[in-house]
Amino acid sequence: MTQPMTLTDRAALTRHRARARSLPGHDEALFLHRLALADLQERLEEVNRTFTAPAVVTGFPGIFGDLAPMEVVADDDLIALEPNAHDLVVHAMSLHWANDPIGQLVQCRRALRPDGLCLVVLPGGRSLQELRASLAEAEATVTGGLSPRVLPMGEIRDLGALMQRAGFALPVADNLVQTVEYRSFSGLLSDLRAAGESNALAARLRRFTRRAVLTEAARIYASSYSTPEGRLKATVELVFLTGWTPHESQQQPLRPGSARARLADALGVPEKPLPKDG
């Protein structure tokens, strides 16, 4: 039987997060997480419902524990949530490191009661596109090969489809894209370390990156992605996923052929038959 591919070295990810909490600039480096928190709070305020049993799944309890009075659990492969125990589950800034993203979402769905809400926020595929390109070109130039360095992140269309595959009703996906500016290449890398987002890929190189690779990556980044003022641009994308556990009260699609009015009449245009073949 084929074993599923392991994307993330969970032990390394735990070490990186623990180290990040002790680094200078840790709080400042989590600006993207605070942006996600503010957006989640706005979305919950717009939902015309009072949640009585909410929970949040995250690797950053110090931030997302402030979302509301709620149970906070770690983003482990097996999530510590009781089945059918919650009316709201938030999965915050951790799904991109999951070895089984669909499995994580299925666990969230099972933890929800009927007509319960699941909110997910994670970095999207456009995040750090400049860094990925610069590192790949630099490593190919210096060493003649490539190694896994930046976590592959899903595109919004694919991420939205995961909600449906996990069994959620009324799935919605949308995103927020921003450009962040850095004074230097080393400043960008320091921010990633301080945010606990260092390379924790299971297939990563288990040795230090050659200085020549980083020097070349910094040169490529500066020549390709600089502002007129000489600052380095970095794209960050937050993808928000929303879904509900199925319930009979939710709006359902009509059966094909059950319409009682013609589309042409609704649009106020003449109806034309399709041409016959041949």
- Model pLDDT for residues 23-64, shown as the tens digit of each residue: 988 999 999 999 999 999 999 999 988 999 999 999 999 999
What does pLDDT average to over the chain? Answer: 89
In the chain, which ranges are continuous DSSP H helix? Answer: 10-21, 26-29, 31-46, 61-64, 101-111, 129-143, 156-165, 185-194, 211-224, 263-267
pLDDT of residue 233: 97
Identity of residue 106: V
* Closest residue by Cα to residue 95 from 141, 137, 68, 64: 64
Is-contact 163 233, C-beta < 8 A? no
List residues bridging with 58 in a β-sheet.
Answer: 92
- Domains of the chain, by residue range, sit at 10-248
Give the residue carrying structure tokens 């919605």: 172
Between residues 231 and 207, the one the model is more confident about: 231
- Model pLDDT for residues 123-164, shown as the tens digit of each residue: 999 999 999 999 999 999 999 888 878 777 889 999 989 999
pLDDT of residue 263: 58
CATH topology assigned to domain 10-248: Rossmann fold (3.40.50)
The token duo for 216 is 């070349």
Say yes or no to pLDDT of 266 above 80. no
Strands 86-92 and 112-123, sheet pairing: parallel
Q: 3-state class of 114 per DSSP? A: strand
The CA-to-CA distance between both ends of the chain, in Å, stands at 52
Say yes or no to pLDDT of 261 above 70. no
Is-contact 126 100, C-beta < 8 A? no
- What mean pLDDT do residues 243-247 have? 87
pLDDT bucket at 1, cuts 50 / 70 / 90: very low
Is-contact 105 90, C-beta < 8 A? no
- What mean pLDDT do residues 192-211 have? 88
The token duo for 124 is 């999207």
* Closest residue by Cα to residue 182 from 17, 31, 22, 16: 31
Cα–Cα distance between 222 and 144 in angstroms, integer? 21
Is-contact 65 72, C-beta < 8 A? yes
- Model pLDDT for residues 54-100, shown as the tens digit of each residue: 999 999 999 998 887 889 999 999 999 999 999 999 999 999 999 99
Say yes or no to pLDDT of 268 above 70. no
Say yes or no to pLDDT of 276 above 90. no
Question: In Å, what is the CA distance from 235 to each residue of 147, 223, 228?
Answer: 22, 16, 17
- What mean pLDDT do residues 92-113 have? 95
Say yes or no to pLDDT of 274 above 90. no
Model confidence, pTM? 0.85
pLDDT of residue 10: 93
pLDDT of residue 48: 85
